[in-house]
Structure 1
Amino acid sequence: MGEGGKTPYVVAVAIQVIYTGLFVVSKAAFNSGLNTYVFIFYRLTAATALLLPLALIKSTWQNRSTPATPAPAMSCRILFKLFLYALLGNTFTMNVYNVSLKQTSATVGSAATNSMPVATFLLALLLRMEVVKVRSSSGLVKLVGVALCVAGVLVIALYSGPSIRPLAHHPVFAHKPQSVSNGAWIKGTFLLLLACVTWSLWIVLQVPLLKEYPNKLMATAMQCLFGALQSFVVAVVVERDFTKWKLGLDIGLLAIFYSAFLGTGVSMYLQSWCAEMKGPVFVAMWSPLALVFTIICSSFFLGEVVHLGSILGGILLVGGLYSVLWGKSKENENKISPAVPEERQLEGQGTPMEKHEEEDLTSHV
């Protein structure tokens, strides 16, 4: 695939289609009665089965082909960090996110993910990895982006508004409508935001981790493995009836394999390729498409009632996303130096946010 032409645009749209399917299929599995905690265990187990052999093969091949520069060794210190980061980024974040998705809708879940770049920027700001020059246009636009995201979350949580009828009278993944109270909806929305914040924190923490242990594939695979073990403990505590752990040829099994293989393996490769061809900002700017696709698909396939408040809140979140992305790109054009040590700038490391974008860590398992 070449750098020119329409291929990167097709790939960028394909990535958002994959994420749309992930939101819709996961929600359909939860509607069918699949326990969210059991789902996370199976998902991470399947992802480990995919990634760990690939990581071992890659490390073995590197050791044989380039013995002078072998694959980095994994120390006990690195293993402990991977365990903690798996606890944060996989076990906690994914369980909170999916429980929240069950209480809200696929549309809200998709909209919330657009706040991740803004949440990552805020965390980097609090950790003094980023700076905001309020007297510059880029700094002001970043702050406006943060405000728009906060407003979007509040609109989704507190305002329902008129509803849009489902596009299909007989949806593919039909289920009995579940009545969700206002309190549960508000709680679910803010838990989604919490999951996005902890997910963003996980992204920020990957930067020093990958600098210390640069084997990205092995680091991801080990975090999946630790996350699967941790999620098993959580699932056992929550769901002790093992008859409910059984999987059949249904939407639950489809959701597990879809999320593990398409949502992890394929999307990671496509995002890495697309970011290499066109840059990380090009990849991020297409993410609102997943929201549009999810609104249509959740209505057609799930029969979900989409509320005006979810659409308006999603628009505000997308506006916040583009504001932060524009501010970042403007800073790069003006060569505004962030608050990082000189030696890192000389090494071409960039800011943590730029680094994590280059490493494509937003393709969380």
Structure 2
Amino acid sequence: MDSKKPYLAIILIQSIYAGMFLLSKAAFNGGMNNFVFVFYRQAAATIFLVPLALFLEWKSLPPLSFGTFCKIFLLSLFGITLSLDINGLALVYTSASLAAATTNCLPVITFFLALLLGMEALRLKTSAGIAKLAGIIICLAGVLTLALYKGPHFEVFCLRHLSQQTHHAQTLDTATSSGLTWIKGCILKLISVTFWGLWLVLQGPVLKSYPSMLLFTALQCFLSSIQSFGIAIALVRDPYEWRLGWNVRLVAVAYCGVVVTGVTYYLQSWVVEKKGPVFLAMSTPLNLIFTMLCSAFLLCEFTSLGSVVGGLLLIAGLYSVLWGKTKEQKLMNQNCVDKECTELTIVTA
């Protein structure tokens, strides 16, 4: 049973992320403003994480310099606040399935950004380097397919199918006629994922100066709450837009703020410790499968051929980059072992 726990954990992680896309889309369909949603989500995450972080890591609290605080502030602004705000707009313009599909290019974009910043190397004379370059190209082809090609739409039975056939017809007309809006949503989603990838790349250097992981995350959530509140209060002046009530809006806020931020944070750290980051990254396509099935049955979203083909291309690009990265890591480890054996032989002699 212990050997199966990591597999059960990644299924739960990707199910939670699928629920995040579905509940967020349902809240937006119910009229909730995207910027208000992000503020409430980050506020809920802050209320959940700050007491927990202070209770568990107060005794080992590292010093926080002004320079490090400014770096964390900028990380929160671009990697969390702007990324979530732009992601919400993209979700309004497109669908939950596309949001889940585009998430598959996060490891590829993260690698590309690390390459531009000199944190990664691309050796085109090796099979690993060629695989990583091919993965980037395939990922780009997948994004272009999602944005520019729709093809025929597939309609499946959903919970509201029998009672809202008129709604389905209107939805299909909208889906087939709003190509410009769809492209705009795809571009916004790509920008959001780029900010997310930049956040992942730049976290490493900041964590060296502030190594408390839980407090680091809680501080980012707190700063993001302030930032997202400033953006929301500037753009949303209607008091009605800020009401939650006992409806899907409150459920979406609580779920994204507590379950996604709290539960998945712990589970992902545990999986990375047990199986490594590549194992976790390879489970990302499960998110697309869960989201596509649930959005069709629960939200009655139409699935287009372009979404399926684009999603498959993104998955292929993801696995190509991960294969190249894994092979390169194995070669580096082998060289390290060989070097140690040589040094040990010299010392023994």
Q: Number of aligned pairs?
A: 327
Q: In the alignment, is residue 215 of structure 1 matched against residue 205 of structure 2?
A: no
Question: SS at the partner of 1:335?
Answer: helix
**Contact preservation (8 Å) 1:52, 1:222:** yes
| 1:343 counterpart residue number | none
- Residue of 29, 34, 40 corresponding to 1:42: 40
| 1:119 counterpart residue number | 109
Question: Cα distance, 1:171 vs. partner?
Answer: 6.2
Amino acid at match of 1:5: S
CA distance in structure 1 between the aligned counterparts of 2:186 and 2:100, rounded to whole angstroms:
11
Q: In the alignment, is residue 14 of structure 1 matched against residue 12 of structure 2?
A: yes
**Contact preservation (8 Å) 1:160, 1:307:** yes
> How much identity, in percent, do the aligned residues show?
46
Q: In the alignment, is residue 82 of structure 1 matched against residue 80 of structure 2?
A: no
**Contact preservation (8 Å) 1:171, 1:301:** no
CA distance in structure 2 between the aligned counterparts of 1:190 and 1:171, rounded to whole angstroms:
31
**Contact preservation (8 Å) 2:135, 2:318:** yes
Question: Cα distance, 1:233 vs. partner?
Answer: 1.1
Q: Deviations over 1:191-245 (max 9, x none)?
A: 1011101110011110100011101111111111111111111111111001220
- Residue of 189, 203, 207 corresponding to 1:206: 203
| 2:285 counterpart residue number | 288
Question: Cα distance, 1:169 vs. partner?
Answer: 5.1
**Contact preservation (8 Å) 1:171, 1:302:** no
Amino acid at match of 1:256: V
Question: Cα distance, 1:84 vs. partner?
Answer: 1.2
| 1:351 counterpart residue number | none
Root-mean-square deviation (CA, aligned residues, Å) is: 1.8
Correspondence 1:19-30 to 2 at 5 A = 19-30=17-28
Correspondence 1:43-62 to 2 at 5 A = 43-60=41-58
Q: Deviations over 1:96-136 (max 9, x none)?
A: 01100110000000011111100010001111111111010
TM-score (norm: length of structure 1)? 0.86
**Contact preservation (8 Å) 2:159, 2:298:** no
Structure 1 gaps of 5+ residues are 64-69, 338-365
Amino acid at match of 1:140: I
**Contact preservation (8 Å) 1:134, 1:140:** yes
Question: Cα distance, 1:336 vs. partner?
Answer: 7.4
CA distance in structure 1 between the aligned counterparts of 2:35 and 2:161, rounded to whole angstroms:
26
Question: Cα distance, 1:282 vs. partner?
Answer: 0.9
- Residue of 76, 99, 107 corresponding to 2:97: 107
- Residue of 329, 332, 342 corresponding to 2:329: 332
Residues 171/278 of structure 1: CA separation in 2 closer, same or farther (3 Å cut): farther
Q: In the alignment, is residue 72 of structure 1 matched against residue 62 of structure 2?
A: yes
Pick the structure with more helix per residue: 2
CA distance in structure 1 between the aligned counterparts of 2:159 and 2:7, rounded to whole angstroms:
33
| 1:276 counterpart residue number | 273
| 1:153 counterpart residue number | 143
Question: SS at the partner of 1:184?
Answer: helix
Structure having the higher Rg: 2
Q: Deviations over 1:174-200 (max 9, x none)?
A: 895553511110011011011101110
Structure 2 gaps of 5+ residues are 335-349
- Residue of 119, 130, 144 corresponding to 1:140: 130
| 2:82 counterpart residue number | 92
Question: Cα distance, 1:165 vs. partner?
Answer: 0.3
Amino acid at match of 2:14: Q
Q: Which stretches of structure 1, 4 residues or more, deviate above 2 A after TM superposition?
A: 174-180
Correspondence 1:210-289 to 2 at 5 A = 210-289=207-286
**Contact preservation (8 Å) 2:25, 2:96:** yes
Question: SS at the partner of 2:3?
Answer: coil
- Residue of 306, 310, 332 corresponding to 1:309: 306
CA distance in structure 1 between the aligned counterparts of 2:229 and 2:202, rounded to whole angstroms:
24
Question: Cα distance, 1:274 vs. partner?
Answer: 1.2
